[in-house]
């Protein structure tokens, strides 16, 4: 099944890149290093759903406790046509989404970067914020750390 989210993101990034900024954009890293997933329904991996609208914290905390990968990027529901910044977990086989709600019949599109939870945790500690928001990374070192981590994973298959 094709992930229509990837095309939408490429269009969005083309628009974003017209505006010069000194701050690196997460969308650029996502498009360069991101992985595409399409799922029917949402899997919680047998875990209880967590607080809605708190995906970055939910995903990082669960990734750390389970030794899963923390994923951040964009997600979209079939028929919605609007990508939403989102975070989820990767257990090595499938997406675990503890925040979104949905039916088993719905199709969900995910496109994002996969990080070891400890790398995402270091960024959260440095910026005092869950999620990768590079405008909070004043010296740019965290951006470089994450890019280096992703470079090492670039040819890794999921």
Work out the mean pLDDT of the chain and round it to a whole number: 82
Q: What is the pLDDT of residues 98-137, one digit of tens each?
A: 999 988 899 999 999 999 999 889 888 877 778 877 555 6
Proportion of the chain above pLDDT 70, given as a percent? 81
On the question of pLDDT at 23 being above 90, the answer is no
d(CA 108, CA 18): 29
Neighbouring CB atoms inside 10 A of 125's CB total 10
Supply the pTM of this predicted model.
0.83
Band (18; pLDDT cuts 50, 70, 90): low
- Give the model's pLDDT for residue 104: 86
Question: The tokens 């399409």 sit on which residue?
Answer: 38
Among 25-29, 99-103, 115-119, 146-150, the minimum mean pLDDT is found in 25-29
DSSP letters of 36-96? EEEEES---TTSPP--TT-HHHHHHHHHHHHTPEEEEEEEEETTT---EEEEEEE-SSSEE
- Binned at pLDDT 50, 70 and 90, residue 78 comes out as confident
Tell me the pLDDT band of 3, cut-offs 50, 70 and 90.
confident
């Amino acid at each position: 099944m094709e992930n229509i989210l990837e095309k939408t993101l490429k269009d969005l990034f083309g628009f974003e890149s017209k505006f010069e900024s000194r701050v690196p954009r997460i969308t650029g890293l996502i498009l360069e290093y991101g992985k595409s997933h399409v799922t029917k329904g949402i899997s919680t991996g047998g875990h209880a759903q967590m607080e809605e609208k708190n995906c970055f914290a939910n995903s990082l905390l669960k990734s750390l406790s389970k030794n899963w990968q923390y994923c951040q990027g964009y997600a979209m529901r079939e028929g919605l046509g609007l990508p939403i910044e989102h975070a989820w977990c990767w257990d090595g086989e499938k997406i675990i989404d503890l925040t979104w709600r949905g039916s088993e019949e719905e199709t969900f599109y995910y496109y994002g970067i996969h990080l070891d939870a400890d790398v995402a945790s270091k960024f959260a500690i440095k910026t005092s914020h869950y999620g990768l928001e590079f405008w909070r990374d004043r010296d740019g070192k965290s951006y470089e750390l994450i890019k280096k981590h992703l470079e090492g994973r670039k040819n890794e298959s999921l």
